[in-house]
A and B are shown apart, each in its own frame.
Chain A
Amino acid sequence: MLLTSYNFVIFILACFVLYYLIPKKFQWVLLLAASYVFYFMAGAFYPLFILATSIITYFTAIWIADRTAKDGEYLKTHRAELSREEKKAYRVRSNRVKKGYMLLGLLLCLGILAVFKYADFAVENINALFAAFGSERELEYLDLLLPMGISFYTFQSIGYLLDVYWEKTEAQRNLPKYMLFVSFFPQLIQGPISRYSDLSKTLYEEHSFDWRNVRFGLERVLWGYFKKLVVADTILAAVSVIISDEYYSGAWVLLGIIFYGIELYADFTGGIDITIGVAQVFGVKVQENFIRPYFSKNIVEYWRRWHISMGTWFRDYIFYPMSISKSMNNLTKVCKNRFGKGVAKRVPVYLATMVTWFATGVWHGASWNFIVWGLLNGVIILITGELEPLYVRFREKFPRLTTSVGYKGFQILRTFFLMGCLRMLDCYQDVEMTFRMFISMFRDFDPAVLTLEEFAEFGLNWQQYLVVFAGTVIMFLVSLAGRNGSVREKIAAKPYVVRYGLFVILFLSVILFGSYGVGFDATQFIYNQF
């Protein structure tokens, strides 16, 4: 069930009405039931896997929490009798047991994910390796259907497990409640990856019908549909043609980067708007996942503002734990003695950054494109860090220039272009082709190839290009307005006619200009035989 299907809209409306009709203490139960129904409709066997992950992390987290409580109690009551060494030894033992539980849960969850997502990628590469060594052996592909949202809910559960392990959050002892946290359906399709400590604040609460809250939620949903249907899905036709054929080289590549940048932004942020809006209608607060990412002035800032929940997940659960780990400390020490302080200081950061970005790449998809994409992100981030002193000096030397609006604009465009180039790996079919197209953009750049006839080839008429253009301008203006405070708050402060008018215009735009349904192909209506 796609976010943009009729069935989803009907499903949401039905849940919404029921939600405020039933006794409030059952509201979260309804959400749980709805989530599993939703997931069942997406694939009959999907609920089994999400249930497995939920149960694994539920129990391991409880075992860990129990152990923590028990050991804390023991140390407290025997405070006087135990020596410092004894206490320390007890702690070490206790930690070892807890670590065992944690690893058990972690590996089981990652195992399920790996089988579904990466087994065939592994088979492909093993077979390639066999072939490279002249072997005729070939492993068989599993051809498993990836359960919807498995990357998101697996990471969300693992985050919870680690939070309990690090005593950053209490364990949830009510299994159905925990299952709801893992499966909360608005975020099953494309995130965000919520934190337990954050989502649990509003997920289980009793919610009274609050018209203002519901209205804000619905406005957000509608805005999401506008981005997704009017902009993203309309331009998609052009994007998919441009990236599929090497014929579109040179200036086309740049155009593809721009179009894909618009498409991805509108699609992804629109989807998240729908998710957050739907959750808000239920009174549940889901964290923001984007903060005007295309206004970023450098790549580090970009990753703080784009797909935030994923970035912070990798930061908190891979980058930090790895870079401050004991073995990393030891490695740093060794390097310090051998190569001096400068190198030693960089070792944890460099190593952890590259591992984190490798993992981020792999998480995005089982392909070399994403691995290269992740690693390149890591490299660019590290280079940016190294160049920082240079930037500082540049800023000191040219204070007037570097604080001007023009320079800011330049930085923003530079970041957009840079991220767009990296994103090419997401578009073209393999790494080789991506690099070829990237080079062609500079070598064969000739804007004269962008003719009107060519644009007509993509299956969009000029009215549709106009729609996309207008939609993009509107998104840009809304982003500009959002820099100083919520746009919806501002609209809510306007007179009724204005805000209702805006709502209606937005609604009609989605209905009329959205790309949904079968479309109207006149030739299909021409009655040619019977």
Chain B
Amino acid sequence: MKIWIRRVVSVLLVIALLLGLQRLVEPKYVTEFKEGGFTAEYYKETMGHEVLMVGDCELYENFSPVTMWQKYGITSYIRGSAQQLTWHSYYLLKEALKRETPDVVVFNVLELIYDEPQREEYNRVTLDRMKWSAEKVGAIRASMTEEEHMLDYIFPLLRYHSRITQLTEEDIEYYAKDTQRTIAGYYMRVDVEPYEEGAWPEEEPEDFTLGDNAMGYLDKIVQLCNDKGIRLLLVKAPSISPIWYDEWEEQIEDYAAENGLDYINFLELVDEIGIDYEEDTYDEGLHMNLSGAEKCADYLGNFLSEEYGLADLREDAATAADWEEKVQFYEEMKAAQYEELEEYGEIVSY
């Protein structure tokens, strides 16, 4: 009997040690690579949303849910992270649909141009903090590059062990706590850096056909929404870089028509919305800054409200209270960013 107690205690002790060390070496995604923290922030949401947006930075930097709330009373959330690819989006959506059933799902089509996993690090950024579920396993299997191994996801300690010699204060400070990086999935930037042609390298693809793998996952997203009676809306955000080629545009338009989906290409609405690439981008045309994101959200909110008749929930007390907090956090972050801009001439901690 005694020997069994000893063994159990020994094993538990080692497991505890391993878990403790694992937490220590995992990236905290607080000051650096913030995108790694986005996926998990969704789990903090206590209420459902009318709109769920899934996609890469073209969503989470270009649309501000707070604006849609303030102007149209629409509740929304962006499930997006850095270079989120179509299969990531599919599994993140599938996971989210187990918790809530929104009226509309918005999908940004840029990620369809990637037919294969791109970079291990971005896989980690999107998947590391996903809760364990069949969806997470599916997402990992769909995302792994050739060199990757499932074990590295099951035991992040194996993946990040070499950080033991590169630890920073952040690893200690955020050992047991986390921070809030987004507002309903929106990543705010208030600074301005005007669009400059050629600032980002562009590579024209040899073949413009959107790949079977990516399109296959889009089919699955369509199916998923159909099954749940959710309307799917395709969008292309107004980022100028990377270039959105006409060949792609045609394929998306055809796809939308075939599947009876609406598709909004914001690049064609630049004048109507009033986007000014001198003022509304913070990284020379890649992403919108706050002013750009508010303009895009305004248009999208109006569309959802007018065309899809989404309800204005501002009168609903519980919802209003929930969003009151978000708005407050939004305003505080905005103020803090402007303060930094004033003080350092750039944004340092966001």
Instruction: Please give, as numbers and ranges, the residues of chain A lying within 8 Å of B151 by CB-CB distance.
Output: 6, 10
Instruction: Please give, as numbers and ranges, the residues of chain B lying within 8 Å of A521 by CB-CB distance.
Output: 121
Binds A, one of B156-164, B243-251, B341-349: B156-164
* Contact B147 A514, beta carbon cutoff 8 Å: no
Instruction: Please give, as numbers and ranges, the residues of chain A lying within 8 Å of B83 by CB-CB distance.
Output: 527, 529-530
Please provide the chain A residues from 453 to 501 with a CB less than 8 Å away from any CB of chain B in the complex.
461, 463-464, 467, 496, 500
Indicate the size class of the contact surface on chain B.
Answer: 35 or more
CA distance A309 to B196 in the complex (A): 68
- Beta-carbon nearest neighbor of B83 in chain A: A530
- The residue among A507, A513, A520, A524 with the most chain B CB atoms within 10 A of its own CB is A520
| B21 interface neighbour in A512, A515, A516, A518, Cβ under 8 Å | A512
- Beta-carbon nearest neighbor of A510 in chain B: B161
| B159 interface neighbour in A496, A500, A514, A517, Cβ under 8 Å | A517
Instruction: Please give, as numbers and ranges, the residues of chain A lying within 8 Å of B209 by CB-CB distance.
Output: none
CA distance A500 to B58 in the complex (A): 53
* Contact A464 B165, beta carbon cutoff 8 Å: yes
Instruction: Please give, as numbers and ranges, the residues of chain A lying within 8 Å of B164 by CB-CB distance.
Output: 512-513
Instruction: Determine if A511 is an interface residue (Cβ-Cβ < 8 Å).
Output: yes
Known: A530-B83, A530-B110, A530-B242. A525 touches B33 (CB 8 A): yes
* Contact B57 A508, beta carbon cutoff 8 Å: no
Instruction: Determine if A522 is an interface residue (Cβ-Cβ < 8 Å).
Output: yes
Please provide the chain A residues from 228 to 249 with a CB less than 8 Å away from any CB of chain B in the complex.
none
Instruction: Determine if B56 is an interface residue (Cβ-Cβ < 8 Å).
Output: yes
Instruction: Determine if B10 is an interface residue (Cβ-Cβ < 8 Å).
Output: yes
Instruction: Please give, as numbers and ranges, the residues of chain A lying within 8 Å of B262 by CB-CB distance.
Output: none
Please provide the chain B residues from 125 to 161 with a CB less than 8 Å away from any CB of chain A in the complex.
125, 147, 149, 151-152, 157-161
* Contact A517 B162, beta carbon cutoff 8 Å: yes
* Contact B166 A522, beta carbon cutoff 8 Å: yes
Instruction: Please give, as numbers and ranges, the residues of chain B lying within 8 Å of A6 by CB-CB distance.
Output: 149, 151, 158
Instruction: Determine if A44 is an interface residue (Cβ-Cβ < 8 Å).
Output: no
* Contact A529 B119, beta carbon cutoff 8 Å: no
Instruction: Determine if B17 is an interface residue (Cβ-Cβ < 8 Å).
Output: yes
CA distance A527 to B6 in the complex (A): 47
Known: A464-B165, A529-B200. A511 touches B125 (CB 8 A): no
CA distance A463 to B163 in the complex (A): 11
CA distance A286 to B112 in the complex (A): 55
* Contact B149 A530, beta carbon cutoff 8 Å: no
Instruction: Please give, as numbers and ranges, the residues of chain B lying within 8 Å of A463 by CB-CB distance.
Output: 165-166
- The residue among A464, A513, A518 with the most chain B CB atoms within 10 A of its own CB is A518
Instruction: Determine if A132 is an interface residue (Cβ-Cβ < 8 Å).
Output: no
Known: A512-B164, A520-B162. A527 touches B82 (CB 8 A): yes
Instruction: Determine if B191 is an interface residue (Cβ-Cβ < 8 Å).
Output: no
Instruction: Please give, as numbers and ranges, the residues of chain B lying within 8 Å of A513 by CB-CB distance.
Output: 161, 164-165
CA distance A527 to B33 in the complex (A): 7
Instruction: Please give, as numbers and ranges, the residues of chain B lying within 8 Å of A515 by CB-CB distance.
Output: 162
CA distance A450 to B91 in the complex (A): 53
* Contact B286 A529, beta carbon cutoff 8 Å: yes
Instruction: Determine if B35 is an interface residue (Cβ-Cβ < 8 Å).
Output: yes
* Contact B166 A500, beta carbon cutoff 8 Å: no
Instruction: Please give, as numbers and ranges, the residues of chain B lying within 8 Å of A514 by CB-CB distance.
Output: 161
* Contact B162 A519, beta carbon cutoff 8 Å: yes
Least Cβ distance of B194 to chain A in Å? Answer: 18
CA distance A6 to B151 in the complex (A): 8
Least Cβ distance of B95 to chain A in Å? Answer: 22
Instruction: Determine if A504 is an interface residue (Cβ-Cβ < 8 Å).
Output: yes
Known: A525-B32, A530-B57. A511 touches B166 (CB 8 A): no
CA distance A512 to B166 in the complex (A): 12
* Contact A461 B166, beta carbon cutoff 8 Å: yes
| B120 interface neighbour in A496, A512, A518, A527, Cβ under 8 Å | A518
* Contact B161 A512, beta carbon cutoff 8 Å: yes
* Contact A508 B119, beta carbon cutoff 8 Å: no
Instruction: Determine if A526 is an interface residue (Cβ-Cβ < 8 Å).
Output: yes
Instruction: Determine if B14 is an interface residue (Cβ-Cβ < 8 Å).
Output: yes
Please provide the chain A residues from 1 to 47 with a CB less than 8 Å away from any CB of chain B in the complex.
6-7, 10
* Contact A530 B160, beta carbon cutoff 8 Å: no
Instruction: Please give, as numbers and ranges, the residues of chain A lying within 8 Å of B18 by CB-CB distance.
Output: 508, 511
| A526 interface neighbour in B33, B111, B147, Cβ under 8 Å | B33
Instruction: Please give, as numbers and ranges, the residues of chain A lying within 8 Å of B147 by CB-CB distance.
Output: 518
Known: A6-B151, A461-B166, A525-B121. A520 touches B32 (CB 8 A): no
Instruction: Please give, as numbers and ranges, the residues of chain A lying within 8 Å of B27 by CB-CB distance.
Output: 525
Instruction: Determine if B122 is an interface residue (Cβ-Cβ < 8 Å).
Output: yes
- Beta-carbon nearest neighbor of A7 in chain B: B149
Known: A526-B33, A527-B35, A527-B82. A504 touches B165 (CB 8 A): no
CA distance A513 to B158 in the complex (A): 10
Please provide the chain A residues from 380 to 396 with a CB less than 8 Å away from any CB of chain B in the complex.
none
Instruction: Please give, as numbers and ranges, the residues of chain B lying within 8 Å of A7 by CB-CB distance.
Output: 149
Known: A6-B149, A512-B161, A518-B120. A526 touches B10 (CB 8 A): no
- Beta-carbon nearest neighbor of B81 in chain A: A527
CA distance A174 to B257 in the complex (A): 70
CA distance A525 to B33 in the complex (A): 6
| A511 interface neighbour in B32, B161, B200, Cβ under 8 Å | B161
- Beta-carbon nearest neighbor of A513 in chain B: B164
Instruction: Please give, as numbers and ranges, the residues of chain A lying within 8 Å of B158 by CB-CB distance.
Output: 6, 511, 516-517
Please provide the chain B residues from 15 to 43 with a CB less than 8 Å away from any CB of chain A in the complex.
17-18, 21, 25, 27, 32-33, 35-36
Q: 0/1 per residue, B45-80, Cβ < 8 Å to A? A: 000000000001110000000000000000000000
Please provide the chain B residues from 77 to 129 with a CB less than 8 Å away from any CB of chain A in the complex.
82-83, 110-111, 119-122, 124-125
CA distance A507 to B18 in the complex (A): 10
Least Cβ distance of B170 to chain A in Å? Answer: 12
* Contact B166 A508, beta carbon cutoff 8 Å: no
Instruction: Please give, as numbers and ranges, the residues of chain A lying within 8 Å of B56 by CB-CB distance.
Output: 530
Please provide the chain A residues from 202 to 240 with a CB less than 8 Å away from any CB of chain B in the complex.
none
CA distance A122 to B121 in the complex (A): 45
- The residue among B119, B124, B162 with the most chain A CB atoms within 10 A of its own CB is B162
Known: A517-B159, A525-B33, A526-B32. A508 touches B17 (CB 8 A): yes
* Contact A522 B159, beta carbon cutoff 8 Å: no
CA distance A467 to B166 in the complex (A): 13
CA distance A513 to B162 in the complex (A): 7
With A518-B120, A527-B122 given, name 7 new contacts (CB 8 A). Answer: A504-B14, A511-B158, A517-B158, A521-B121, A524-B120, A525-B124, A530-B110
Instruction: Please name 19 pairs of A and B residues whose Cβ atoms are closer than 8 Å in the assembled complex, sorted by A.
Output: A7-B149, A504-B13, A511-B158, A511-B161, A512-B25, A513-B161, A513-B164, A513-B165, A514-B161, A517-B152, A517-B159, A518-B147, A520-B166, A522-B166, A525-B124, A526-B33, A527-B83, A529-B83, A529-B242
Interface residues of A (CB under 8 A from B): 6-7, 10, 461, 463-464, 467, 496, 500, 504, 507-508, 511-522, 524-527, 529-530
Q: Which 4 A-B pairs have the closest CB atoms?
A: A463-B165, A527-B82, A525-B33, A524-B121
